[in-house]
Amino acid sequence: MSKQDILQRLADTVLKGDVEGCRKAAQDAIAAKMPAYTAIMEGCKKGMDIVSGKYEKGEMFVPEILCSAEAMYAALEVLRPYLETGKAEQAGTVVIGVVEGDMHDIGKNLVRMLLEGSGYNVIDLGRDVQLDKFIQEAREKKADVIAASTLMTTTLSSMEDLMKMLGDQGVRNQFKVLIGGAATNVAFAEQIGADAWGADASQAVKIAGELIKQRRAGK
Amino acid sequence: MSWLPPMDQEWFMNGLKCAGALFQGQKMDRVPANPLVMGHSAFIHNRTLYDYYTKPSLGVELILNAAQFYGTLPMIMWIYAVYWCEDFGGKIRFPTGRMSAPAIEEYPYKTPEEAEKYEVLDAEELRKRPTWKRHEEGLEATKKLLGPGFLPHQFVYEMFVRVAFLVSPEKALLWTHKKPELVHKLLKKVVEQSVIQNKMVADQYGSVYITTSSLLAGSSTMSPEKCREFNIKYCKEMVERSMKAAPCRGVFYHLCGDHGKDWPLHEDLPTPPGTMMHVAYDGLKPADLTKVAKVFGNKCAILGNVDTALMMRGTPAQVYEQTKKDVLAYKDFQKGFIAGCACECPPFAPPANVMAFMRAVKDHGKLGG
């Protein structure tokens, strides 16, 4: 089987949410001496990109994305031990979490899955994350982007506090800040001084990529 | 002795008259307002959300005083967003900080095999469980304060989200694809449980006002077909069976979040007198209620949907303008329009915004020419 066939199988099985098929394709990639990073970026990512596009067009929904993510993680489990150190960090590092006071994390999890599928290094802080923790982790991991989410209007103020805290600590310009979640909108992002707002998981991943490029270009 | 000021009888009697007319499909002289002031009532009384959510009797007092303060309808519903989870072994956490609402920390069932063991609780058993106890305390406090204006409600929620509260939203959504038969099995039990809960309220208080809330099965998560298959048809069954099992004073259909593609599928749901339809968003914007009225306007009252983000972050002038626009566009709906927000009034909305909302309803809500 050619390397191209293996990559296509990775993409197809991710798209179909075929966990066993995807794991097998990843094993075949390793057996064929394919670099793990290539398998992720040209196989899994390709599949997740299609998933993401279909979600954006309303052709796929959250249950189907979760199935695809499950398949992708099965492949990543096989591929990660072979991944050259620092490859994901080279693509970009995103510290992600749901802000303090909010336990709703399904949207954040979708973004994380799509980011990982796109080959980025993702530090998932989970839900109900203390604001300090976002900054501390971003500094330690030399993150490009802090991605913060909230579903509830009650916790919108936490986002505002996060921005203020970044300013108070003198690190606002070190990171790009992306916000999202049902309670947020573009006007709110502008009001609090975030760099960008993601309307949904698919858009958030595209924007994160742009923000990483901007940060690395010193913009 | 209660800290509550004496009830403004004129406001109360007018409110009851208005609610009565609305629920009986009679003409009103003004557009009523119900911006769903719940947690916000704690904020304007300098109490914490923790106080509000952990002390149902206090919560009811806060809502009542806020309703009187703003001049909204005297409809009191003390609830929180993670009902019926801990009763089956889950763990919820009440807010410890200023901002948060109660949230689920641990779901009752982790695997499909565990979920198979979920059993419906009978009335006797449910009475011993925490959600029922808090709900009952809220109802008792409301009854005491409102007397004849008491509306005994039951918050049975969205059928699909109740499954999600048993196993986690991610698993519930994933299993609609991978284990649909298990999800259907759980949904049938949830319907059974909900009918029991509605009957429990009716047995205790003479009737029940059913409150549903479609939260997870919406247009941003599922295809419209899946919304129908995994929620709407079960909601319909739950309401129909509850109406047969107990005297029903109406249904509040709260379609929370984005229901742009699936709200028309709710067309066949029962709409007994007293029913309110509340469609919040179509995508990121409040749904166009003139479209909603084409389907539901001759069946039930429609609750308004001023953007909660505007209530929270806008200025009073902006809130006034938007509310005015909505009231003028929607006030002549056949079975009535109630000015409202797209969801619960945000707890930390500036009071001046809520007052601007009420002023716009007052200034522009006159009916009957």
Q: Which residue of A has its CA nearest to B95?
A: A101
Of A61, A103, A184, nearest to B223 by CB-CB distance is A61
Is B99 part of the contact surface with chain A (CB cutoff 8 Å)?
yes
The arithmetic mean of pLDDT across residues B272-285, rounded, is: 95
β-bridge partners, B252: B211, B276
Contact state of B100 with A64 under an 8 Å Cβ cutoff = no
CB A48 within 8 A of CB A11: no
The arithmetic mean of pLDDT across residues A149-156, rounded, is: 82
* The pLDDT value given to residue B85: 96
Tell me the pLDDT tens digit for each residue of B323-353.
999 999 999 999 999 999 999 999 999 999 9
Identify the residue among B160, B220, B259, B281 best suited for mutation to test binding to A, counting A beta carbons within 10 A and taking the highest.
Answer: B220
Instruction: Tell the residue number behind the tokens 């004496």, with chain if given.
Output: B6
Q: Is the pLDDT of residue B369 over 60?
A: no
What is the residue-wise DSSP string for B129-193?
Answer: SHHHHHHHHHHHHHHHHHGGG---EEE---HHHHHHHHH-HHHHHHHHHH-HHHHHHHHHHHHHH
Q: Which residues of B30-51 are buried (b: 16+ CB within 10 A; e: fewer)?
A: ebbbbbbbbbbbbbbbebbbbb
Angle between helices A131-140 and A156-168 (to 10 degrees): 50
The percent of residues above 70 in pLDDT, for chain A, comes to 100
User: If DSSP codes are grouped into helix, strand and coil, which group holds residue B303?
Assistant: strand
Tell me the pLDDT tens digit for each residue of A75-89.
999 998 998 877 778
What average pLDDT is seen over chain A? Answer: 92
Q: How far is CA B178 from the centre of its chain?
A: 31
Q: Which residues, 6+ apart, have CB-to-CB distance to B78 below 8 Å?
A: B38, B56, B59, B60, B63, B138, B141, B142
Tell me the pLDDT tens digit for each residue of B182-207.
999 999 999 999 999 999 999 999 99
Pairing outcome for strands A121-124 and B91-93: unpaired
Report the predicted TM-score, pTM, of the whole model to 2 decimal places: 0.92
* The pLDDT value given to residue B97: 64
CB B195 within 8 A of CB B241: yes
CB B172 within 8 A of CB B164: yes
Q: Which residues, 6+ apart, have CB-to-CB distance to A90 below 8 Å?
A: none
The arithmetic mean of pLDDT across residues B340-367, rounded, is: 96
Tell me the pLDDT tens digit for each residue of B211-264.
999 989 999 899 999 999 999 999 999 999 999 999 999 999 999 999 999 999
Q: Which residue of A has its CA nearest to B221?
A: A62
Q: Which residue of A has its CA nearest to B348?
A: A154
User: If DSSP codes are grouped into helix, strand and coil, which group holds residue B81?
Assistant: coil
* The pLDDT value given to residue B95: 75
Tell which wins on pLDDT, A151 or A42: A42
Tell me the pLDDT tens digit for each residue of A99-113.
987 878 888 999 998
Q: Where is B251: in which H helix or E strand?
A: strand B248-258
Tell me the pLDDT tens digit for each residue of A159-183.
999 999 999 999 999 999 999 998 8
* The pLDDT value given to residue A84: 81
User: If DSSP codes are grouped into helix, strand and coil, which group holds residue B250?
Assistant: strand
Model confidence band, residue A73 (pLDDT cutoffs 50, 70, 90): very high
Q: Is the pLDDT of residue B98 over 70?
A: no
The arithmetic mean of pLDDT across residues B119-132, rounded, is: 98
Of A64, A158, A185, nearest to B99 by CB-CB distance is A158
- In chain A, DSSP assigns E strands to 93-98, 121-124, 145-149, 176-180, 196-198
For chain B, list the domains and their CATH numbers.
Answer: 95-274 (3.20.20.210)
* The pLDDT value given to residue A100: 85
